[in-house]
Structure formats: structure tokens, C-alpha cells
């Protein structure tokens, strides 16, 4: 069977992270991987010169999402919902956060094989590596990060009628679920994951790990944590800028 993967990521004043994600993706995968990736941009105001130059070289379109960095709510899930509904011909969808970084060879190929081998799985997610890239995220954080939902930092999903119907009717955005005496915050993809379970479909975890820096689009971290992330990001950028694969057709 021929596979065609449509991939999407969102830039929200995270241009250096997106450049790193793209560079690491192409450096760790064969260029004959049948994948088409689009960068959706939320009218970012940071320095995107490096990202734009590399994206042009690799044939990766940067498309304005129609949202901005000042949009009232998190637009991530809505952008990805539109992406899915506008691309009915893909066999699979690949969702990538801006702050993901590939450190293991052929991650997407392996994830594809794992997903195709599991009939009751609608999607597969990479395991999150710490910033060093050699160890998985500590066990106490895994439930909230990716056991309870398919986390879209690096997620591959089968294009099925059920998935597209859920995306159309339910969406992929965050929600606040109001119980009678409590409320529950469901992050991006969590409600979709729960609805897919009602169809007897689950998400699985890959054997492959991908670095995830977490929360780089919003001012949620202390200044010293932001500096640590940026320092590690820049180290990895210097490494991956040494790779110069041929342009994607």
C-alpha cells in the first residue's frame, strides 16, 4: 500500500524552534519518505529569517493561519482541525509541535510501521525525550503528557472516516468540561482521544523518542527555565545546521 503523509506544525513566535524541528526531521529521515509538511504561522513577530530560508530550500510552504499571537484563545487545535478537513486524500496525518526535535533515525517510518501493525489504534505518538535526547521523560509526568491522550507534539494518525467525522464534529481544541461539582481541563487532542475510545479505537506509544521542550509559545516558564531551553535549542541548531540535504521535490 502506498502511504502519503500530510504533516503540519504551527509557528507562534517560535521560529527558531520550528527551524530546529524541520532541520532535525530532514536530518534523521530519508528524503524519499512520502511526506508533505506545511508550517502554519500565527503572524509571528520574531526573527524568522533562518526558518524562511531553510523552508524555501526544502520546499516547505509557510502559510498564514489567519490567527495572530494575540488571538484570544489557543488556536492550535482549530488550525489542525482545518488542516485535516482540507486534506482528505492523505493516508495519514502527522502533527508536530514547533518545539519538537528529532534525535533518532527514521522515527516517522518506525511509527508508521507500529501504527499499521495495530488494527485498533487510530494513532501513534512518540515518547518524549528530555532535553538531552537520551532519556524518556520521567515516569511521574508521562500520564499527563501522553498516556491519557495522543499528544500532538509528534503524533501520526490514520486518515479514516471515523477520525475525520470526529474532527469535524468535535474538533481538536482544548475544552473545559463542567461536571456538576467540578470542572476538568482537557488539553489539545484529549477530547478527541476520548471520543475515539468510544469507537473501540486507542492511541499507542512508539518505541521512538523525540525531544519536546514544552510551552515555548507562551510565557508560562520562569526566566531561568526559558534561558535553559533556548541554550539547548541553540546547541541543537548549531549541530543540525551542519546537515544540508538536497531540496525536497
Q: Classify strands 35-41 and 62-64 as parallel, antiparallel or unpaired.
A: parallel
pLDDT at residue 1 tops 70? no
CATH of domain 5-240: 3.90.550.10
Question: pLDDT digits over 86-102, tens only?
Answer: 999 999 999 999 999 99
Residue-range domain boundaries for the chain:
5-240
Which of 103-107, 141-145, 187-191 has the least mean pLDDT? 141-145
Question: pLDDT digits over 195-213, tens only?
Answer: 999 999 999 999 999 999 9
Predicted pLDDT of residue 243? 79
- As a whole-number percent, the residues of the chain with pLDDT over 70 amount to 97
Question: pLDDT digits over 169-186, tens only?
Answer: 999 999 999 999 999 999
Question: pLDDT digits over 212-227, tens only?
Answer: 998 888 777 778 888 9
pLDDT at residue 66 tops 80? yes
Question: pLDDT digits over 6-34, tens only?
Answer: 999 999 999 999 999 999 999 999 877 88
pLDDT at residue 71 tops 80? yes
Amino acid at each position: 500500500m502506498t502511504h502519503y503523509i500530510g504533516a503540519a506544525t504551527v509557528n507562534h513566535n517560535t521560529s527558531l524552534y520550528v527551524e530546529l524541528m524541520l532541520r532535525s526531521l530532514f536530518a534523521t529521515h530519508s528524503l524519499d519518505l512520502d511526506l508533505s509538511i506545511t508550517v502554519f504561522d500565527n503572524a509571528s513577530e520574531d526573527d524568522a529569517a533562518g526558518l524562511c530560508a531553510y523552508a524555501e530550500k526544502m520546499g516547505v510552504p509557510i502559510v498564514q493561519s489567519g490567527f495572530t499571537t494575540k488571538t484570544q484563545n489557543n488556536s492550535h487545535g482549530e488550525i489542525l482541525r482545518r488542516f485535516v478537513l482540507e486534506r482528505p486524500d492523505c493516508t495519514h496525518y502527522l502533527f508536530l509541535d514547533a518545539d519538537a526535535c528529532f534525535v533518532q533515525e527514521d522515527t516517522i517510518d518506525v511509527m508508521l510501521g507500529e501504527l499499521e501493525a495495530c488494527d485498533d489504534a487510530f494513532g501513534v505518538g512518540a515518547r518524549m525525550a528530555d532535553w538531552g535526547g537520551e532519556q524518556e521523560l520521567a515516569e511521574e509526568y508521562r500520564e499527563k503528557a501522553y498516556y491519557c491522550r495522543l499528544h500532538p507534539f509528534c503524533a501520526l494518525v490514520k486518515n479514516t472516516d471515523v477520525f475525520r467525522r470526529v474532527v469535524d464534529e468535535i474538533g481538536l481544541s482544548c475544552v473545559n468540561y463542567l461536571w456538576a461539582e467540578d470542572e476538568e481541563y482537557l488539553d489539545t487532542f484529549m477530547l478527541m482521544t476520548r471520543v475515539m475510545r468510544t469507537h473501540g479505537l486507542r492511541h499507542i506509544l512508539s518505541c521512538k523518542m523525540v525531544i519536546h521542550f514544552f510551552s515555548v509559545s507562551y510565557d508560562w516558564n520562569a526566566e531561568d527555565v526559558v534561558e535553559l531551553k533556548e541554550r539547548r535549542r541553540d546547541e541543537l541548531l548549531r549541530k543540525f545546521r551542519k546537515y544540508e540535504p538536497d531540496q525536497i521535490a
